[in-house]
Amino acid sequence: MQVRRLVPIAAAVAATALVTAACTSVVPGSGSAGSGAVPGPDAPPGLESFYAQELSWGPCGPFAATPDDAEAFADPALDCTAVTVPLDYAEPDGETARIAVLRQRATGDRIGSLLLNPGGPGASGTGFAAALGSGLAESPITQRFDLIGFDPRGIGASEPVIDCETDAEREEERADIDADASPEGVALLEEDSREFVDRCVERNGTDLLANVGTRDVVRDLDVMRAALGDEALTYAGFSYGTFIGAKYAEAFPDRVRALVLDGAVDPAQDPVEASVAQSAGFQLAFDAFAADCVRQPGCALGTDPAAASTVFQSLVRPLYDTPLPAGAGRELGYNDALTGTIQALYSEQLWEVLRVGLDELTQGSGELLMLLADSYEGRAEDGSYSNDLEAFPVISCVDDRRITDPAVYLEIDRRAREVAPFRDDGRGPSAARPPCAFWPVPPTTEPALPDVEGLDPVLVISVTGDPATPYEAGLRLAEQLGARLLTAEGNQHTVALSGVTCVDDLVAAYLIDLELPDDEARCTI
């Protein structure tokens, strides 16, 4: 899963090092029309036709936005459709968007739909649901619920799709060496940011860019709920998906049946503080990895965990000037080495892969770290990219408070280097402004604690060693929503429905029977 507001230090305040490219259109489903849409008083005025629309389900093949999707979507247990929504909810009679939806039908006594969002912003929910469903084949959750994955507006197989960069432009950007912190370097980085903004405007138009934020996804989510025939929403959101869930609870508290919010994004945290807190979280994850690595013979980080950040930078900083061969004629530079490392820090399951990848660096090869970086960047074997990370800044720029002061970005970068020395490239903090500082449309969502009344009990899950969404954010979100908190002890980003029996049993009990865990419940990953 990707993470909200994750960017490498060298580009954290100056460029979109994590944007990628792909352009895919949704193809409407075929087959018999679905039934069970909820019209009438459930629909806000002017939106009756959207809420009451009949869904036409068919094979998922035409909805595959990536080669991996094409393989997974061939499963006959899956069917797909598209839900029509207004592009701009202030003009429901104007242009429309189509939200790609994938379903795995319940195999037993059906309760309703379980809608899923894997995070991002920018991650595809259709691919996530297809992968998750196969792993939950024996779970009571898939017996009682239709699993529903959706690609939020602008993402994956939904249309119109966010399209700011071609695959070739993305490859060139990844290979580009970031400028230094000198005035000339800052100017170059800001020029890159402005060029990215110009491409986004030229290829998408400001109408789309202004209407892809969480504000709009929440409205889409309620249309989907009604079109699927559910009187109340049952939802599981991960990472950024918790932000969607919290905003839905605020907008439609009387339409919530159950919410599982795992890996909380603090909805009130200032984007500056959020960026620094996330950097600190990844340093904790790196330190945990290093402590494990140095206990093994031949660890490239040496034998002293306290020196691991310094040793790591001694391995990767030379890649600025001398990239290493990474297979298929490609070369691993500094940016990709750092991205591959960060990808591996999301879960202990990837620590061994990272250990071997760092050892490869000492032998003159960057192949394994490049594979990790490609996984994070959404690059397929054929060189094509999903648009997951391309959409990340587009959505973030209308979700976050607008910051245009270079001094603020300098302070972010300075503090981030202090709390995360393993990500310090040695080139000094930069005042360069990222694309959001030049964005052509205003934010549509402001950081704020959810103001919710009349909300049924909610389950928040937080992992003590989560590198991307720190544990404390879950504490704050649970307190604000009056939710029950489930603490998971371990080192990974989110945990629900991933095969940890203690967690999954408690989640199933909540989703199916609305039974919350005990106060101060804890599980070990």
Q: Residues 158, 193, 239, 396: which is the catalytic one?
A: 239
Q: Residues 192, 216, 493, 504: which is the catalytic one?
A: 493
What distance in Å separates the CA atoms of residue 12 and residue 352, rounded to the nearest whole number?
Answer: 27
What distance in Å separates the CA atoms of residue 225 and residue 234, rounded to the nearest whole number?
Answer: 9
What distance in Å separates the CA atoms of residue 104 and residue 362, rounded to the nearest whole number?
Answer: 46
Q: Residues 151, 388, 466, 504: which is the catalytic one?
A: 466
Q: What is the 8-class DSSP label of residue 293? A: H
Report the chain's terminal Cα–Cα distance, integer Å: 17
134 assigned to active site? no
Helix axes 334-344, 271-293, angle to 10 degrees: 80
CA 256 to the chain's CA centroid: 23
Under a CB-based contact definition with an 8 Å cutoff, are residues 144 and 512 in contact?
yes
What distance in Å separates the CA atoms of residue 170 and residue 188, rounded to the nearest whole number?
Answer: 17
CA 58 to the chain's CA centroid: 27
466 assigned to active site? yes
Map tokens 């024996």 to a residue.
138
Could you give the dihedral angle defined by the CA atoms of residues 299, 304, 306 and 310, in that order, rounded to the nearest 10 degrees? -60
What distance in Å separates the CA atoms of residue 150 and residue 81, rounded to the nearest whole number?
Answer: 10
What distance in Å separates the CA atoms of residue 466 and residue 348, rounded to the nearest whole number?
Answer: 11
CB-based burial, 314-337: b 16+ in 10 Å, e otherwise = ebbeebbeebbebeeebebbbbbb
323 upstream amide cis, omega within 30 of 0: no
E strands present in 56-95: 78-86
Exposure of 89 in the CB half-sphere (CA atoms within 13 A): 22
**Partners of residue 347 on adjacent β-strands:** 492
Q: What is the largest CA-CA distance in the chain?
A: 67
230 assigned to active site? no
What distance in Å separates the CA atoms of residue 376 and residue 158, rounded to the nearest whole number?
Answer: 21
Distances 187 to 195, 318, 416, 474 between C-alpha atoms, Å: 12, 24, 21, 38
What distance in Å separates the CA atoms of residue 130 and residue 491, rounded to the nearest whole number?
Answer: 25
At residue 364, what are phi and psi to the nearest 5 degrees?
Answer: 90, 20
Which residues does 489 contact at the CB level (< 8 Å), separation at least 6? 463, 464, 465, 522, 523, 524, 525
Q: Which of 8, 11, 475 is nearest to 279 (CA)?
A: 8
- Which residues are the active-site residues? 239, 466, 493
